[in-house]
Each structure stands twice: as C-alpha cells, then as structure tokens.
Amino acid sequence: ALISLRQLLDHAAEHSYGVPAFNVNNLEQMRAIMEAADKTDSPVIVQASAGARKYAGAPFLRHLILAAIEEFPHIPVVMHQDHGTSPAICQRSIQLGFSSVMMDGSLGEDGKTPTSYEYNAGVTRRVVEMAHACGVSVEGEIGCLGSLETGMAGEEDGVGAEGILDHSQMLTDPEEAARFVQDTGVDALAIAIGTSHGAYKFTRPPTDDILAIDRIKAIHARIPNTHLVMHGSSSVPQEWLQIINQYGGDIKETYGVPVEQIVEAIKHGVRKVNIDTDLRLASTGAIRRHMAEHPAEFDPRKFFKDTIVAMRDVCVDRYVAFNCAGQASKI
C-alpha cells in the first residue's frame, strides 16, 4: 500500500530503525527493491530524481511504482520525489500522486548555487503548506552537500571545480536546523555532514574529520523529534569496483560511507538513508561480468536479470543492516 513518508518515519523512530531510500529509474531497479523488501519484510521508500524523470518520463516512473504496489500489496511503499528545486516541481509531483516530496531549497533552481536561509525557508514553507493540504509529506534540506576533503559539491565523474562551497556550508549548524524546522514544519530534514552524491565521495576510507557523524549527534540532541535524512549514503562497495574494473571498466580509487557509520547515524536520529550509486555500481558490474563471460549472448533479459539479482542483494544487505528488515508487517 502507498503510505506517506511521515507515517513510515514515525514508525521507524518509535522502533529505532532506518529506512534506505533507493532511487528508481527503470524496471530492473524497481523489481530489485521490491524483491529485497519482500524477502526481508521491509517497508520501501522509492524516489524519483529529475534525472529519472528525464530518462523514463514521469508517467512511466509513476506507473512503475504503482505496479510495484499492485504486485506487492503487503509492502508499505512511500513514493517520494527526490531533490525538487522549486515549489512548481513539487506541486506537479503531488498532482501525479507522490506521497512525499523533497523541496531542496539549499540550492537554487539550477540545482547548483547555494541560497540564503530566507530563500530556503520561504520556498520550503510554501511546499509544506501545499503538500500538507493534500496529505503529502515534505523533506527539506539545510546545509549543502559537499566534500569536506575537497570543497567540491560532488561531481559524478570525480572531477569538478574546487572550492565551490566553504567548510561551514557543508556542515549543518544545529541551531539553524532547529530554526528551519520551526519556520517550515517539514516532516524530515536532510542535513550536510560531508557526504556528496556519486561514487567519488572520499579519496581514502573516511575518518571523522571528513565524515562528521558527531555533527548528527549534535543536531539530534537539539531537535530530537525531527526525522533526519542522510543524502549521498552509498557505501561504494570495493568488491563491485573490483568487478567493474576486472571486466574492462575504469573507475578510479574511491570510497563511500561505510555501512557501520550509517548504523551509528541511525542510533542518532537518521531515519531515511538515500542510496543510488551503490545500485548503479552493482548493475554495471553485473552487466560487464555477464557480457564478458557470455560473449555470444544477445538476449538483454539475460544480463538485465543479473542486474536485478546484484541490486537485490545490495538492498537486502541495507535492509538488514539498518534494522528495517521485519518491520513491514508491523506498520
């Protein structure tokens, strides 16, 4: 059944678990997520980004999620819009039937330029008023995602202009977070603690100077009743990097957010954990391996089937690690 983000995260807070929020772009990802949730009795958050809408088209994405709900009626599913850059985009998703939207006013409509507190609080407040009138939840963001190591906003290919953001913008201030929640009434709050989107998060296994788990503790202590969201939470599994490179890929040395650190964050109020890159890596590794091992194969279903299995296993691992497994039937 379709449920709101608020309903799911209230349950997660009450029972001290975290919920992975997986990005969805195609049928294989959708199946992988649902099969993993079914296998582990986990509730689901699936999210559609602007890039996903561009790739698949909003109606296809919407019906993909509705099809998942139809096939797995016993699994609670949140249909979430990831990183909306304007109230108009959020409004469109609400119209389409999403049960949750993210208004990311930490950046401007170009998705790149940091904004003022007043702008962010203003657009987020407007979306909360609109969404709550329709029973839809809202996630806001305070602070800008970015690497404390390089000062980059996080480029998918690992190369980007340095020094776009200053250090203080990339660590959410607990007082500002409290004011933002008060001013906007958001249901969940994304915070910045040194993670960034994509595979190139850290050039070495992260230590606490570049992955600020302590900052989560300080924010949670200040706003204990707010559900926190961690973006850029892929763990970038070394085994998948190795498989990709073994079968002709060329991915540079890079590290993600260790699962143990996410588990620690969940102890301190993180309830929604955004993961996209890990499924992309597993999918690419599975395709490269399949094609290398079966060069005569030309039925795409053969290698797409492998991507489903690879992504499903990643999802199962996260559901289990975040203590989300076993919760679906209790909601």
Q: How many CA atoms are closer than 13 Å to the CA of 51, on its beta-carbon side?
A: 7
Min dist CB 3 to Zn ion, Å, is 21
Q: Which of residues 253-292 bind ligand G3H (CB under 6 A)?
A: 276
Min dist CB 155 to ligand G3H, Å, is 12
Q: Which of 106, 234, 261, 283 binds ligand 13P (CB under 6 A)?
A: 234
Two tokens at 324?
């989300």
- Any binding-site annotation on 154? no
Give whichever of 107 and 123 is closer to ligand G3H, judged by the CB atom: 107
Q: Quick check: 231 binds Zn ion (CB under 5 A)?
A: yes
242 touches 278 (CB < 8 A): no
CA distances from 202 to 148, 194, 209, 255 (A): 9, 9, 11, 5
Give whichever of 7 and 274 is closer to ligand 13P, judged by the CB atom: 274
Select which of 82, 187, 278, 306 is catalytic: 82
**Which of the listed partners (Zn ion, ligand 13P, ligand G3H, none) does 52 bind, with a CB threshold of 5 to 8 Å by partner kind?**
ligand G3H
Using alpha carbons, select from 126, 113, 58 the residue that is nearest to residue 87.
126
Mark whether 82 is an active-site residue: yes
**Which of the listed partners (ligand 13P, Zn ion, ligand G3H, none) does 174 bind, with a CB threshold of 5 to 8 Å by partner kind?**
none
Q: Which of 6, 11, 62, 197 binds ligand G3H (CB under 6 A)?
A: 197
Q: Which of 197, 220, 288, 312 binds ligand 13P (CB under 6 A)?
A: 197
Q: Which of residues 15-34 bind ligand 13P (CB under 6 A)?
A: 23
Q: Quick check: 198 binds ligand 13P (CB under 6 A)?
A: yes
Give whichever of 124 and 327 is closer to Zn ion, judged by the CB atom: 124
Give the interface size with Zn ion as a residue count (CB under 5 A): 2
253, exposed or middle or buried, with CB in 10 Å at 0-12, 13-18, 19+?
exposed
Q: Quick check: 83 binds ligand G3H (CB under 6 A)?
A: yes
Contacts with Zn ion by CB under 5 A lie at 231, 274
Q: Tell me the catalytic residues.
A: 82
